Amino acid sequence: MASISGICSSSPTLKPRLRPAAALTTASLLRKDSVSFPTARPRPGDRSLFAQSVAREIKAELAKADGDGALIKDEKKKVLEKDPRALWRRYVDWLYQHKELGLYLDVSRVGFTDEFVAEMEPRFQAAFKAMEELEKGAIANPDEGRMVGHYWLRDPKRAPKPVLTVQIENTLEALLKFSGDVVSGKIKPPASPEGRFTQVLSVGIGGSALGPQFVAEALAPDVPPLKIRFIDNTDPAGIDHQIAQLGEELASTLVIVISKSGGTPETRNGLLEVQKAFREAGLNFAKQGVAITQENSLLDNTARIEGWLARFPMFDWVGGRTSEMSAVGLLPAALQGIDIKEMLAGGKLMDEANRTTVVKNNPAALLALCWYWATDGLGSKDMVVLPYKDSLLLFSRYLQQLVMESIGKEFDLDGNRVNQGLTVYGNKGSTDQHAYIQQLRDGVHNFFVTFIEVLRDRPPGHDWELEPGVTCGDYLFGMLQGTRSALYSNDRESITVSVEEVTPRSVGALIALYERAVGIYASLVNINAYHQPGVEAGKKAAGEVLALQKRVLSVLNEASCKEPVEPLTLDEVADRCHAPEDIEMIYKIIAHMAANDRALIAEGSCGSPRSVKVFLGECNVEALY
């Protein structure tokens, strides 16, 4: 085999090795064919949705009326208010406070006008009506013909059918009992009947990982009853690292496998890798495995047949990116000792606040209003999320999926091509003082900022002064306020969301706040926030690449089983695969195989593709017949 330094370089020998037939078996229990992707339905027509959009207030001489009477904004921006007294009045007038949650929303540093708010009022009333119908069980995801019910998870009585209420309540009761029995040691790992589970390994991707990761980072105690690790990708090195970190504790690790369909390739691959590790350690995976999936899915049936330790349902009407308050997020949180009832209570209280139809009193609507103003309702600027608290580091990653997968759509609900979106990125303060704040303050003006502030620095009685009158937390506070002021002085707009403390209740409220803001904003711009055709297109394309790889392997195997071995050029491989149009992808497949010692380069190098002749390092006789 080629050494690392010789990857994609000529191999000195053409003699193939014969692989025994027994080595040909593959784990295919959870295998799933690629998902077909229905072509989106573009319909001709102007982007009428945006013909009525309201521009910012500008001087009369810079504006003109279009055919519909809407203002057309000149390239010159309206100058933001800078007078301190006027800004204080604006701050007081627009400050939102939720006393019970200890949550504040400051939108005073976004420059929307009273006229803009008035012009947007009809759209907001339509959005509120749409959200009301959604919560009553309307088909809010028309492309997939599904209800959207993540709000029912924290208030089951609002579910439109009694059977759904019972399903939600029973699931919560079951996972609370199960997690309690695991934490107390009543449910024990089979390899250690006198011991207890010490680790959780969560296998899932996208919404099945980002929410649980965010909550674990934000809320897990310093010494949790079970520590948690995540396999959230199909990167072999990453998987190996997580398993290696468990070491001997693999025997006391509870493995949670999360996949709505049960056929998500990355999750399936992670499961198979973990099962292999269990076999090699002489452990019975089924006695330590938990499935969270739709009833009767491929994963559910596998877990039932193999007798896994437990199974919990995912519901058809809950999407992955809004599943944190389902079993997906609640079970991992409960196993870490996080009070999930408080998370649900915080979400419920925020939902109640977001049902008011007065924009000024509705925090989610205020966020949507600011997003629309800052981005012209077209995603023209990015949203930079800066939580000034280490424990909220992953909030920006969580919001990245929630917002971008929901808002990033090619077509609106009327079939017009609109290419909507709202880009989200961020890290944490004050780390960003030494990273990209320089560009935010002085560079290209293509963003607005969302600051996340936590008012309490440490638990009561634990603070101390670094110098007279100044604590460590005071420096963090100063950095946030200073950055906000510095950005605004250069016409950079910002929103500030403040919570008193990072608690299960406040985290539940933040999740609910942004879930609702996304739904309202989607209504304002007339798109379906609850499907993800672009993701499905990527999955389909990945499936096609793997199918082509199988054809390449078949062709190379046939040539490698000849005496003497027949090295093939890329053109020859493409012709024998009947895919000359895919020669670039065939080259990439062969280069990847060569880098992993699964193909040998007989002549040439991958740096000069036309020179390459390739064969396999072994002959699979059984595959010939």
What residues act catalytically?
405, 434, 539
Strands 199-203 and 253-258 come out as parallel
CA-based nearest residue to 176, from 320, 312, 300: 312
User: How many CB atoms sit inside 10 A of residue 455's CB?
Assistant: 12
Length of the chain: 625
Residue 602 parent element (H or E): strand 600-603
**Directed axis angle between helix 162-184 and helix 327-335, to 10°?**
20
Residue 450 parent element (H or E): strand 447-454
CA-based nearest residue to 388, from 442, 434, 432: 432
Q: Which residues pair with 257 in a beta bridge?
A: 203, 291
Query: From CA 149, how far away is CA 317, in angstroms rounded?
Result: 5
Output phi, psi for 189, to 5 deg.
-70, 140
| Sequence-separated (6 or more) residues with CB below 8 Å from residue 466 | 472, 475
Helix or strand or coil: residue 333? Answer: helix
DSSP state, residue 230: E
Torsion 133-134-137-141 (CA) sign:
positive
Residue 117 parent element (H or E): helix 114-135
Output phi, psi for 480, to 5 deg.
-65, -55
CA dihedral 499, 504, 505, 506 (to 10 degrees): 20
Helix or strand or coil: residue 105? Answer: strand
Query: From CA 156, how far away is CA 163, in angstroms rounded?
Result: 10
Torsion 406-409-413-418 (CA) sign:
positive
Q: What is the DSSP string of 137-164?
A: T---BTTTTB---GGGGG-GGGSSSHHH
Torsion 339-341-346-347 (CA) sign:
positive
Compute CA distances 616 → 48, 160, 459, whole Å.
57, 59, 62
Query: From CA 339, how far away is CA 335, in angstroms rounded?
Result: 10
CB 196 within 8 A of CB 258: no
